[in-house]
């Protein structure tokens, strides 16, 4: 391990055009699951100036009013209604549907490799730069919604760089915040307010020092935002959704997909497993990887990497994971309640920062300790 290095992670607000598309897709998914827990949904959204397109494969007992969902989501995010909505959907492919249903158990909706990660750096069991970047954007949005900072728009993003020494967070090296604002907003006032009401409280765990570089709207004016400024697309903020690039990602998007798609359910389960391993005291850092074949229920590979921090050999941890967790799509859906309309509420500010999300619980830690034959008092 290097003695000194800097790790950086970014986050975006819910008004960022890509995340707005994610929120629309997950809202459509929730609406389908509300009436049909067995719905099969792969919803994609693209938004650009004046137009929002919703497309994909949806097989459900009741097709929701997608234009109404789009309008409501955009309005609740903080934007106006000057756009056209186009919906292009069709049923799931019969070949895929047959592959998923061909076994006595539900098969995986696609092949895929997914990863989960946890570490003991923060209360969220996430790397510190990831946790801090999401705090910045969440506080930025809260400042807009509460009126603490006047003249803010919904679009924004943040980036936090943390300097490490001997593997531990040492200081904040830099923080970058870009936020949409009204045309008449004074930039000096904006920078003072963002520093006071966003940066300072967000970085309370590792307070900036005199060497910390802070950049607030470094490009200058940021008046035009959302999909009036940039085209938004579902699944384009994968690093912000997961581990900020500081842990592996299988490449599959999360939002807009029902639980039969293992690039979502598997990613959630892998995080659930990794978090419980760390919470149990079986490792300080843990990466879980699961690999699936389309139409097959059981994963074709389960791998645990404890990054040389494990109390037991990784083969023992992997065996314990297989004993404690049902890793089939049906098992993951059941364990995490992924057939319920819960997804839109966890869409923004990282999928792994919401402590009430089913995959963020540590209720299997004791079972893992028992499975490796360990002493619970040490976990």
Residues 149-171: tens digit of each pLDDT: 999 999 999 999 999 999 999 99
- The beta strand positions in the chain, using DSSP E, are 4-12, 40-48, 51-59, 84-90, 112-119, 152-165, 168-181, 213-216, 232-233, 285-292, 301-305
CB–CB of 172/208 below 8 Å? yes
Average pLDDT over residues 201-220: 92
Look at residue 295 and tell me whether its pLDDT is greater than 90: no
Percent of the chain with pLDDT over 90: 83
> How many helices and strands in the chain, by DSSP H and E?
11, 11
Residue 112: pLDDT band by 50, 70, 90 thresholds?
confident
Q: Which domains does the chain have, with CATH numbers?
A: 4-13+128-226 (3.30.300.10), 112-120+259-378 (3.30.300.10)
Percent of the chain with pLDDT over 70: 93
**Structure-model confidence comparison of residues 219 and 128, the more confident one:** 128
Q: How many Å apart are CA 36 and CA 252, to the nearest integer?
A: 24
Residue 378: pLDDT band by 50, 70, 90 thresholds?
very low
Residues 6 or more apart in contact with residue 248 via CB below 8 angstroms: 115, 117, 287, 289
Average pLDDT over residues 69-98: 83
Average per-residue pLDDT for the chain: 92
Give the pTM: 0.93
Look at residue 6 and tell me whether its pLDDT is greater than 80: yes
Residue 123 confidence (pLDDT): 95
**Region of residue 50 (left: phi > 0; alpha: psi -120 to 50; beta: else):** left
Residue 104: pLDDT band by 50, 70, 90 thresholds?
very low
130: enclosing H helix or E strand = helix 128-146
Residue 101 confidence (pLDDT): 54
Average pLDDT over residues 117-145: 97
Residues 242-252: tens digit of each pLDDT: 999 999 998 88
Average pLDDT over residues 19-32: 98
Average pLDDT over residues 256-283: 96
CB–CB of 31/64 below 8 Å? yes
Residue 375 confidence (pLDDT): 59
Please give the DSSP secondary-structure letter assigned to residue 294: B
CB–CB of 246/9 below 8 Å? yes
Please give the DSSP secondary-structure letter assigned to residue 228: G
Look at residue 231 and tell me whether its pLDDT is greater than 80: yes
Look at residue 103 and tell me whether its pLDDT is greater than 70: no
Q: How many Å apart are CA 377 and CA 122, to the nearest integer?
A: 21
Look at residue 55 and tell me whether its pLDDT is greater than 80: yes
Q: How many Å apart are CA 194 and CA 199, to the nearest integer?
A: 6
Residue 261: pLDDT band by 50, 70, 90 thresholds?
very high
Residue 102 confidence (pLDDT): 47
Lowest mean pLDDT among 23-27, 78-82, 238-242: 78-82
Residue 336 confidence (pLDDT): 98
> How many residues make up the chain in this entry?
379
228: nearest Cα among 77, 379, 114: 77
């Amino acid at each position: 391990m290097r003695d000194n290095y800097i790790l950086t992670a970014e986050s975006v607000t819910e008004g960022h055009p890509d995340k707005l598309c994610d929120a629309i897709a997950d809202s459509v998914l929730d609406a389908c699951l509300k009436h049909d827990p067995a719905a099969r949904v792969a919803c994609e959204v693209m938004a650009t100036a004046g137009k929002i397109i919703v497309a994909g494969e949806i097989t459900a007992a009741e097709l929701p009013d997608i234009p109404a969902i789009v309008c409501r989501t955009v309005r609740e995010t903080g934007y106006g209604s000057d756009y056209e909505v186009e919906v292009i959907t069709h049923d799931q492919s019969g070949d895929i549907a047959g592959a998923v249903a061909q076994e006595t158990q539900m098969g995986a909706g696609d092949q895929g490799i997914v990863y989960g990660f946890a570490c003991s750096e923060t209360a969220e069991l996430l790397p510190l730069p990831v946790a801090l970047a999401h705090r910045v954007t969440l506080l930025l949005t809260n400042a807009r919604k509460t009126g603490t900072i006047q003249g803010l728009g919904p679009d924004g993003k943040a980036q936090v760089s943390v300097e490490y020494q001997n593997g531990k967070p040492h200081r904040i090296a830099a923080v970058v915040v870009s936020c949409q604002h009204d045309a008449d907003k004074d930039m000096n006032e904006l920078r003072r307010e963002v520093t006071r009401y966003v940066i300072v409280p967000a970085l309370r765990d590792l307070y900036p020092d005199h060497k910390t570089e802070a950049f607030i709207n470094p490009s200058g004016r940021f008046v035009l935002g959302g999909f009036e400024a940039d085209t938004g697309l579902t699944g384009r903020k994968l690093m912000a959704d997961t581990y900020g690039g500081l842990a592996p990602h299988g490449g599959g998007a999360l939002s807009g997909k029902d639980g039969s798609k293992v690039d979502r359910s598997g990613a959630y389960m892998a995080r659930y497993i990794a978090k419980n391993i760390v919470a149990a005291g079986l490792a300080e850092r843990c990466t879980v990887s699961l690999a699936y074949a389309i139409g097959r229920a059981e994963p074709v590979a389960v791998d645990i990497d404890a990054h040389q921090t494990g109390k037991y050999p990784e083969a023992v941890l992997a065996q314990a994971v297989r004993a404690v967790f049902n890793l089939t799509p049906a098992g993951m859906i059941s364990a995490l309640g992924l057939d319920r309309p819960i997804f839109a509420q966890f869409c923004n500010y990282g999928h792994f920062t919401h402590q009430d999300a089913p995959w963020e619980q540590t209720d299997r830690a004791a079972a893992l300790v028992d499975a490796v034959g360990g002493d619970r008092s040490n976990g």
